[in-house]
């Protein structure tokens, strides 16, 4: 055996070297495979944690919007114009039925104003008021939903970073709430979310004024007895939307209207908004009406940048398409089906008088704001472009987030 080894020493050494190298390489490969497997497991856990947090955040957005609808409802239905107009019509009807009967006393100056109008004028005003209220409700819930998505995803992103970078637990064990105030102090978070007060008490009124102007310009000349088909109603609503959503009211080709002016106050009114919204304001928060706190300042500036972005305008327009589609389907649900080409000469109604749409519009307003379950909020929560936009905001971990 020893003579065999001596004769083939070089071959034995070479074979031994190859075997040792193969053993070392195999051991290294096994170690790397274990490390890669562990890293892949951690990556999957981190991705699953991020997905869980994001989905929970979107549910929070929906619940937050629903919790704010009663405030919007109180503001929207505080205007009793429609009820006063109906009361004025009833007074005229009673007077025509029994001219000798004493008229009931007028409740206030507004009632007296509408009582002085003719029957046709009252009906025309009722038409404008009912459609204005319906369209204002549609714009309001859409803008409120979009704004809440932006706010809560900005907040959720910072809470996620806070938990991942400052929680010693494994990624798969991280809770859905942050554990420190490193990125977003709780008081700053509360102040940032308080800015929704502005739209709920100021912005929606400005939106309502713009909607009324558009409704008057489009529906003002439409007679109440005119027969309206589903297609015509769709065209009328589309024309109103173009006027509302175009920056130049007289030029439908203008760029999109900047709805962000309804969502956040101007910088000089930021402190006032916090105070009116019930947030605690200390002297370090800001001066001259403008917020100075660096974290809150950054959140507000980023919020404004998002609202100013063309993508936000497109997402809002797409979301409006969704809620307007639902409302239009309800308005046209009982309209006669247009005759086919074969039946074109058949004598059958193809529309309904405009006047018959007024009570439907009035009823729909309550569904948009107070519906339980609320199909409009449900549709917005499922709206794909809005979800994708929220994903972009939530996952945008730029350098300033980890300074």
User: pLDDT by residue (tens digit) across 125-148?
Assistant: 999 999 999 999 999 999 999 999
With respect to residue 7, please indicate whether it lies within any of the assigned structural domains. Answer: no
38 Cβ contact partners less than 8 Å away, ≥ 6 residues apart: none
Question: What are the φ/ψ torsions at residue 290 (nearest 5 degrees)?
Answer: -110, 135
Helix ranges (DSSP H) in 167-228: 186-194, 196-198, 204-219
How far apart (Å, rounded) are the C-alpha atoms in residues 61 and 381? 8
Confidence category of residue 281, pLDDT binned at 50, 70, 90: confident
What is the pLDDT at residue 34?
Answer: 67
**Residues 6+ away with beta carbon under 8 Å from 261:** 203, 206
The count of structural domains within the chain is 1
Residue 166 lies in a domain: yes
**3-state SS assignment for residue 358:** helix
- Which pLDDT value is given to residue 388? 93
The verdict on residue 68 lying in a domain is yes
> Is residue 110 domain-resident?
no
More confident residue, 212 or 170: 212
Least-confidence region, from 191-200, 285-294, 318-327, 352-361: 285-294
pLDDT at residue 176 tops 60: no
pLDDT at position 260 over 60: yes
Would residue 93 count as lying in a domain? no
pLDDT tier at 149 (50, 70, 90 boundaries)? very high
Q: What pTM value is reported for the model?
A: 0.84
pLDDT of residue 342: 44
**pLDDT band at 368; cut points 50, 70, 90:** very high
Cis-peptide into 373, omega within 30 deg: yes
**What local confidence, expressed as pLDDT, does residue 250 receive?**
65
Q: Which residues contact 289 (CB under 8 A, 6 or more apart)?
A: 267, 268, 269, 270, 271, 272
Q: At what angle do helices 204-219 and 230-245 cross, to 10 degrees?
A: 130
Lowest mean pLDDT, pick from 96-100, 122-126, 288-292:
96-100
CA atoms of 177 and 355, how far apart (whole Å): 53
Which token pair is 396? 């945008």
Query: What per-residue string of b and e applies to 66-102 under the rule 16 or more CB within 10 Å gives b?
Result: eebbeebbebbbeeebbebbebbbebbeeeeeeeeee
Confidence of residue 174 (pLDDT cuts 50, 70, 90): very low
Cβ–Cβ under 8 Å, residues 390 and 147: no
> Which of 50, 63, 65, 307 lies closest to 156 in space, CA to CA?
50
| pLDDT value of residue 86 | 82
12-23: average pLDDT: 67
In a domain, 75, yes or no: yes
Please tell me the predicted confidence (pLDDT) of residue 94. 76
- CA–CA separation, 129 vs 215, rounded Å? 9
Mean pLDDT of 237-262: 85
Q: How far is 244 from 257, CA to CA, in rounded Å?
A: 7
199 found inside a domain: yes
Q: Supply the mean pLDDT for the chain.
A: 82
Give me the mean pLDDT over the 152-156 stretch: 92
On whether residue 100 sits in a domain, the answer given is: no
What pLDDT is recorded for position 18? Answer: 74
Domain that holds residue 204: 13-79+119-337+347-397
């Amino acid at each position: 055996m020893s003579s065999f080894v001596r004769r083939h020493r070089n071959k034995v050494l070479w074979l031994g070297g190859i075997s040792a190298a193969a053993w070392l390489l195999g051991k290294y490969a096994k170690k790397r495979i274990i490390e890669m497997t562990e890293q892949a497991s951690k990556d999957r856990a981190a991705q699953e944690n991020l997905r869980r947090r994001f989905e929970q955040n979107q549910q929070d957005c929906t619940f937050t919007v629903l919790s704010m609808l009663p405030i919007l409802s109180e503001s929207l239905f505080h205007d009793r114009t429609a009820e006063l107009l109906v009361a004025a019509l009833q007074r005229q009807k009673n007077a025509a039925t029994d001219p000798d009967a004493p008229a009931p006393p007028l409740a206030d100056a507004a009632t007296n104003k509408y009582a002085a109008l003719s029957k046709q004028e009252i009906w025309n005003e009722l038409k404008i008021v009912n459609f204005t209220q319906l369209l204002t409700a549609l714009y309001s819930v859409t803008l409120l939903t979009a704004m809440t998505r932006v706010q809560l995803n900005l907040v959720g992103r910072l809470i996620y970073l806070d938990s991942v970078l400052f929680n010693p637990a494994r990624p798969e064990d991280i809770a859905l709430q942050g554990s420190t105030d490193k990125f977003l102090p709780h008081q700053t978070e509360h102040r940032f979310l308080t800015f929704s007060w502005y739209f709920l008490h100021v912005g929606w009124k400005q939106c309502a004024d713009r909607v009324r102007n558009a409704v008057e310009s489009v529906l003002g000349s439409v007679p109440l007895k005119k027969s309206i088909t589903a297609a015509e109603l769709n065209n009328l609503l589309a024309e109103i939307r173009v006027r509302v959503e175009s920056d130049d009211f007289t030029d439908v080709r203008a760029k999109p209207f900047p709805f962000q002016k309804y969502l956040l106050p101007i910088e000089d009114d930021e402190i006032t908004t916090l105070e009116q919204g019930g947030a605690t304001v200390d002297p370090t928060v800001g001066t001259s009406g403008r917020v100075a706190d660096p974290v809150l300042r950054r959140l507000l500036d980023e919020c404004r940048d998002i609202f100013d972005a063309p993508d936000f305008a497109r997402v809002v327009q797409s979301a409006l398409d969704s809620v307007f589609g639902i409302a239009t389907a309800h308005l046209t649900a009982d309209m006669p089906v247009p005759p086919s080409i074969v039946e074109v000469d058949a004598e059958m109604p193809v529309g309904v008088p405009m006047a018959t749409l007024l009570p439907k519009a009035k009823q729909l307003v309550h569904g948009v704001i107070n519906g339980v379950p609320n199909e409009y909020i449900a549709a917005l929560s499922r709206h794909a472009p809005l979800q994708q936009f929220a994903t972009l905001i939530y996952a945008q971990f730029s350098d300033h987030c980890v300074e």
